[in-house]
Structures are given as structure tokens and as C-alpha cells.
Amino acid sequence: MKKGWIIALSVIAVIVLVIVLVVSWGVRNYNNFVGLNEGVNQAWSQVENQYQRRFDLIPNLVSTVKGVAEFEKETYTAVTEARAKVGQIRLSADQLGDPQAFQKFQQAQDGLSSALSRLLVVSENYPQLKANENFLQLQAQLEGTENRISVERMKFNQVVQDYNTQIKRFPAAIIANFTGFKEKQYFAAAESAQQAPKVEF
């Protein structure tokens, strides 16, 4: 009888130990996913911050160019419309796993980048603008913002890669799927990125 109790207690102890190890492994993985997810959200905030900076600069840039180059109405219209589209499309950190929402957001931002490129190319043809200190400052700020956007998008893609890799690794993928951690989207180069902006006079 004593032997039976010792065996039963040993089996129970092993089962409890296995359960404790599995639970602690699951908790550790879950907490890791939470940290990585917050890293993605933080990186996304930085991307949004730089997009907002660009969004705020555009009216000043357009006004300055408009004052000197009055007959480039199509270019202003394109920039204004692209800016309006960007203002209508918001992408929260919760939507980073939605490919359609992410693509719509990226297309709107790429459209604005393209329109701004055309505006800057147009502005190169006006010597008065090159001498205008306000324009030069705005152009430098906009170019700096475009660089910041590029850097923040690259950082965002890096943290998304870390996150996506962790949630797909087996056996941690079991915890990720069970607790609702889903794959996030990457920024991709715009299709038009291979071509220089075309401006015809």
C-alpha cells in the first residue's frame, strides 16, 4: 500500500511539474509577444508622427510655390487632392494586421509623395523660388521629413519582422494563435518608386 501511494504521489508531482513548466513557458512567450507588439505600436507611432509633420508642412509649401509659379495649377491641385485623401485615411495600430486597410493607407501616402515630388520638380524651373528663403527652408524641411519617414518606415519594418518571426516560430506559434497575436503588415516600395516624376510643360 505504501508503495502504491509513493508511486501515485510521484506521478502527481511529475504531472504538476510538467503543468507548471508548460504554463510558465506559455506566460513567458505571451509576455514576449506583448513586448514585441508594443514595439510595433511604438514604431508605428513614429511613422505616423513623420507623416503628420509632412501633412502640416504641405499647405505652406504649396502657398509659397503658388505665389511665384502661378500657372502650375494642375500640380497644386494634385498635391491638395492627395493631401485631402491622406487626411481621410487613418490606420490605427490595431489595423496593422489588416492587409486591405494597410494597402489603402500606403497607397494614399505614396500618392502624396508622388504629388510632392512633381511639385518640387516644377519648382526647380523657377529661379525666383530658388532665391526665396521661405521656399528653401520649406523645401529643406520637407526633404528632411521625407528622409525621416524613410528611416521610420525602415525601423517599423524591422520591428514587424521581429514580431512576425516570433509569432510564427514553433512551438511559440501555438501560444500566439491561441492568444490572438496576428501577423502585421510591412511597408513596401511604391510601384512608382522606380520612376522619376514626369513633369511636362
Per-residue model confidence as pLDDT tens digits over 91-107? 887 788 888 888 888 88
Per-residue model confidence as pLDDT tens digits over 65-90? 666 656 566 776 777 788 888 888 88
Q: What is the pLDDT of residue 131?
A: 57
Contact between 62 and 80 under an 8 Å Cβ cutoff? The reply is yes
Q: Indicate if the alpha-carbon torsion angle 86, 194, 150, 79 is positive or negative.
A: negative
Q: What is the pLDDT of residue 105?
A: 86
Q: Report CA-CA distances (Å) from 122 to 61, 62, 71, 76, 156.
A: 12, 11, 11, 10, 32
Q: What is the pLDDT of residue 70?
A: 60
Q: What is the pLDDT of residue 172?
A: 84
Return phi, psi of residue 53, to 5°.
Answer: -60, -45
> For 69, left (φ over 0), alpha (ψ -120 to 50), or beta?
beta
Place 130 in a pLDDT band, splitting at 50, 70 and 90.
low
Question: Mean pLDDT over residues 37-49, rounded?
Answer: 86
Q: What is the pLDDT of residue 69?
A: 58
CATH of domain 2-194: 1.20.1440.20
What residue ranges do the domains of the chain occupy? 2-194
Q: What is the pLDDT of residue 129?
A: 59
Tell me which of 8-17, 39-48, 70-79, 84-93 is least confident.
Answer: 70-79
Per-residue model confidence as pLDDT tens digits over 164-194? 888 888 888 888 888 888 888 888 766 554 4
Quickly count: other Cβ atoms within 10 Å of residue 178's Cβ.
10
For residue 155, pLDDT over 70 is answered with yes
Could you give the angle at which helices 73-88 and 99-123 cross, rounded to 10 degrees? 160
Of 59 and 64, more confident: 59
Reported pTM? 0.67
Looking from the CA of 175 toward its CB, the CA atoms found within 13 Å total: 19
Average pLDDT over the chain reads 78
Alpha helices in the chain (DSSP H): 2-68, 73-88, 99-123, 127-131, 133-168, 172-179
- Percent pLDDT > 90 in the chain is 0
Place 200 in a pLDDT band, splitting at 50, 70 and 90.
very low
**Cis status of the peptide bond prior to 171, with omega within 30 of 0:** yes
As a whole number of Å, the end-to-end CA separation of the chain is 100
